[in-house]
């Protein structure tokens, strides 16, 4: 029994470590540095996320970032799922642990001085990896609020907040899975604390389709 517990603990640690290192691979920073020969963190809000990247360089290059960040999240979740299956820990738990590690790496990357994105795209991929119903509800809320208000941050925060609620029902009141989903939501909302402050004060900027030199004070949600 002790051997089994140690094995599970080792796999959990390994899953978090590997997925964290994958999450540290920031598509915005890598694309701006190696393809555009620039640094996205020197523009706009200074955030190394998708929204600031899109505002700075446009949709063509943003597609590369989306592909990179989606791929690292999917890979992290698959690695976590298969590793946990090997110890009878459960596929869903492994996927969730892999997603959490990837989120932590994306938000606080060791490669870039712990200054990363806000985890919306990674979290958006994670919910689909967990359960299509969770993905449908989260993305539905995001798109609805984004279209109604044009606040990316409001849609992102609301969609993220729905994650532990839907997990509670989808996973049949499982306290561990629901609690871990709450951890993901808390991390994303924490990274949006400045956006929340601006929303409350009515100073949050709305999404714009055109690309222009970014206002240094303009906010972003990724």
pLDDT in tens, 168-212: 999 999 999 999 999 999 999 999 999 999 999 988 888 776 555
Q: DSSP character for 112? A: G
pLDDT (mean) for 75-104 = 93
Higher per-residue pLDDT: 216 or 88 = 88
Note the pLDDT of residue 217.
45
Note the pLDDT of residue 216.
42
How many other C-beta atoms lie within 10 A of the C-beta of residue 196?
15
b/e code 207-216 from CB counts within 10 Å (16+ = b): beeeeeebee
**What is the CA angle 109-136-178, rounded to 5?**
60
Report whether 116 contacts 26 (CB < 8 A). Answer: yes
Note the pLDDT of residue 148.
94
Boundaries of every domain in the chain: 2-201
How far is 218 from 170, CA to CA, in rounded Å? 37
pLDDT for 220 beyond 60: no
**pTM given for the model:** 0.85
- pLDDT, averaged across the chain: 88
pLDDT band at residue 49 under the 50/70/90 scheme: confident
How far is 175 from 36, CA to CA, in rounded Å? 45
């Amino acid at each position: 029994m002790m051997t089994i517990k140690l094995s599970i603990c080792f796999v959990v640690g390994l899953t978090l470590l590997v997925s964290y290192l994958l999450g540290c691979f920031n598509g915005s920073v890598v694309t701006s540095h190696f393809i555009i020969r620039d640094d996205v963190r020197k523009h706009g809000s200074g955030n190394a996320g998708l929204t600031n990247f899109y505002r700075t360089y446009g949709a063509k290059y943003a597609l590369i970032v989306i592909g990179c960040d989606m791929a690292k999240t999917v890979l992290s979740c698959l690695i976590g799922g298969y590793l946990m299956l090997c110890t009878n820990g459960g596929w869903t738990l492994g996927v969730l642990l892999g997603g959490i590690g990837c989120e932590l790496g994306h938000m606080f990357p060791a490669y870039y001085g712990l200054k990363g994105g806000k985890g919306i795209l990674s979290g958006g991929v994670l919910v689909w990896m967990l359960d299509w119903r969770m993905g449908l509800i989260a993305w539905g809320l995001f798109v609805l609020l984004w279209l109604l208000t044009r606040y990316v941050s409001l849609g992102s925060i609301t969609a993220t907040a729905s994650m532990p609620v839907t997990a509670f029902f989808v996973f049949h009141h499982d306290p561990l899975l629901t609690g871990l989903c709450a951890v993901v939501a808390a991390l994303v909302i924490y990274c949006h604390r400045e956006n929340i402050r601006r929303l409350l004060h009515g100073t949050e900027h709305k999404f714009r389709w055109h690309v222009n030199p970014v206002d240094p004070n303009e906010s972003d949600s990724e």
